[in-house]
Chains A and B, each alone.
Chain A
Amino acid sequence: MMKEKMLNWVEERFDLSAIRHLTREKTVPVHRYTPFYYFGGLALFFFVVQIVTGILLMLYYKPTGENAYESIRTIMTQVRFGWLIRSIHVWGTNLMMLAVLLHTFAKYFLKAYRKPRELTWISGFFLLVLALGFSFTGHPLPWNEFAYFAAKIGTASIGSVPLVGPWLLEAIRGGQGVTGNTISRLFALHVVVLPLVTIGLVILHLLFVQIQGSSVPIKVKPVGEIPFFPNFFLRDLRVWMGALIVLVGLATFIPAELGKKAAQFASAPAGLKPDWYFLPMYQILKWIPSTILGISGELIGIGLISTGALLILVVPFLDVKASREEESTWFTVIGVFVLFVFMLAITIYAKLY
C-alpha cells in the first residue's frame, strides 16, 4: 500500500516511536470526572482559532495611530466576511479565557497539580498569564474610545510597580502618554512575542501531559481506560464542533462593535469597564482607598494581586496532603471560596454597579 510504503520510508530515517506511542498506546482513564479532561483541549482549540483569525485580521489591520481605527472599520464594512472574522476573534478571546479558567479550576479541584505534575501546573499558570496578556495587548488595537482608555488605565497601573514601573510604563507606551507609538508596541507584543512564547509553552505543557499521562483524582478508581486515539480524540473533536457552533453563533448574532474613534481630548465615557475576566482586579483597585497608612493604594493593589498570583503558582507545594494521595479538603474549601465568593460575587457586583 502507498501509505505503508511512505511510512516505512520515513521510519527508515527517523525514529517514530514517540508518535506511535501517542497514536497507539496513550490511553485516557475513564471515571466520573473524565469530562473534566475536555477543558484543556478546548482552550487549545480556541487558541488555534485565535491564531487563524488573527493572521486574517493582520492582512488589513494597520497598527498606527492614524490608521488603526479606519482599518478596522474597513474590515467590518468593506472586506467580505471581515465582520465575521473580527467578531470571531473578539468572541474567541472571551471563550478562550472561559475555557482556560474552567481548565484551571478543573485541575485545581481534581488536585491534578499534585506530585508529580507540579511543573504541568506551573507551565499552565504561565499560560493563564499569557492569555490575559493577549487580551491586554489586543484590546487597545482597534483604537476606539474603549481601547484608548483601556490602554491608558491598564498601562498606568503598570507604572506603580516598584523600581522598574516607570521604565516599564514608558517602554510599553513608547513615550510618556498613550499614543500611536503605544499601538505599535502592543501590536508587536500581541502578534509576535506572545504567540511565540505561548506556542513554546503549550508544547512544553502538552509534553508534560504526554510523558506522565492523565492524572486520576485522589481516591477515584477508574472503571477502565479508552485509547486516546481515536476514541478520546473523537470525543475532543465533538466538543470542538460544539464550541465552533457556539463561537460562530455568538459572532454572527452578537457581532463585535467598533464604537467611536479614540480622541485624545475627550472625557472618558461613563460606564467604562474592563472585560469580565479583569473585573475582580478592577473592582479591587476601585475599592482600595488612595492611601493606607501612607502607602499608595495602587501599590497595595498590585501587592495583593501579585501575592494572590504567587499563591496560585505554588499551590502544588502548599498542598502536601494531596501529594501523599490524601484528600485535602481545605484546598477544596479555599477553592470554592475563591471561585464563588471572591471571583463570581465580585464580578457580578462590578458588572452591576
Chain B
Amino acid sequence: MNASRRKFLDGLLGLFSLAGLAALAYPILRYITPIKKREDSTLSVVASKINVLTPNTGKLFKFGSKPGILIMTPEGKYRAFSAVCTHLGCIVQYSSKDQQIWCPCHNGWFDLNGHVVSGPPPRDLERYTVFIKGQDIIVKKEKA
C-alpha cells in the first residue's frame, strides 16, 4: 500500500473513531444535564402580616422557590428585594445596626434601595414592589 493511501485510511479511521466517541459521549452529556423545571411563575406572594415587623428590622419570606427579604426601614416604609446575593448566591440578612443589607459570605453590603455599597457583589439586588391589602403585605415581581 502506498504511503499517501495509508495516511488517508489512517485519517479516515481517526475520523470514524472520533465520531464513535461522540456518539457515546452525546447521550451521557445529555443525561447529565438536569431536566428543566418549569420556571417559577409566582408573581406575587403574601410576605408577611402587618404589625409583624417593627421599624429598622427585616425578615425573609418565600417567593416561589427563592428567598426574598422584606424590610421595614427606620422611617417605617416597607421594601422588598430578592434575598439571593448577586455575588455567589448566599442569602442576605438585614443589619439593624448598620441599617443596610448584609451578605456574610464575603462581606457584601447593599443599601435600602438594594444598591451595592461595598464588597464583591457585582449587581444590585432585584427589587420588588410592596403594597398592603387588608392585613397582608403583598410583594410583587414585575415579570417572571
Binding site for B on A (CB under 8 A): 149, 152-153, 156-157, 167, 170-171, 173-177, 181, 264-272, 282, 285-286, 288-291, 296-298
Contact = CB atoms under 8 A, between A and B. Distances in A.
Interface SS of chain B? loop
A156 B33 contact: no
B122 A268 contact: no
A290 B89 contact: no
Contact of B33 (A167, A177, A298): A167
A286 B65 contact: no
B54 to A, nearest CB: 18
Given A264-B67, A265-B60, A265-B62, A153 B88 contact: yes
Interface of B: 32-34, 37, 60-62, 65-67, 83, 85, 87-93, 103-107, 116, 119-122
Contacts of B104: 267-272
Given A265-B67, A272-B105, A291-B122, A175 B88 contact: no
Contacts of A173: 34
17 contacts: A175-B37, A265-B61, A265-B62, A265-B91, A266-B60, A266-B91, A268-B93, A268-B105, A272-B105, A285-B106, A286-B106, A290-B87, A290-B116, A291-B122, A296-B122, A297-B122, A298-B88
Nearest to B104: A270
Nearest to B83: A267
B136 to A, nearest CB: 19
A174 B122 contact: no
B32 A156 contact: no
Nearest to A182: B34
A175 B34 contact: yes
A168 to B, nearest CB: 10
B89 A153 contact: yes
Contacts of A149: 90, 105
Contact of A177 (B32, B65, B92, B121): B65
Given A153-B90, A265-B91, A267-B104, 13 more contacts: A152-B88, A156-B87, A167-B33, A266-B91, A267-B92, A267-B93, A268-B92, A271-B104, A272-B90, A285-B106, A285-B120, A286-B107, A291-B122
A329 to B, nearest CB: 38
Contacts of A265: 60-62, 67, 91
A286 B107 CA distance: 8
A264 B83 CA distance: 11
A177 B105 CA distance: 17
A181 B34 contact: yes
Given A152-B88, A272-B105, A289 B120 contact: yes
Closest 6 CB pairs of A and B: A267-B93, A156-B88, A290-B122, A268-B90, A270-B104, A286-B106
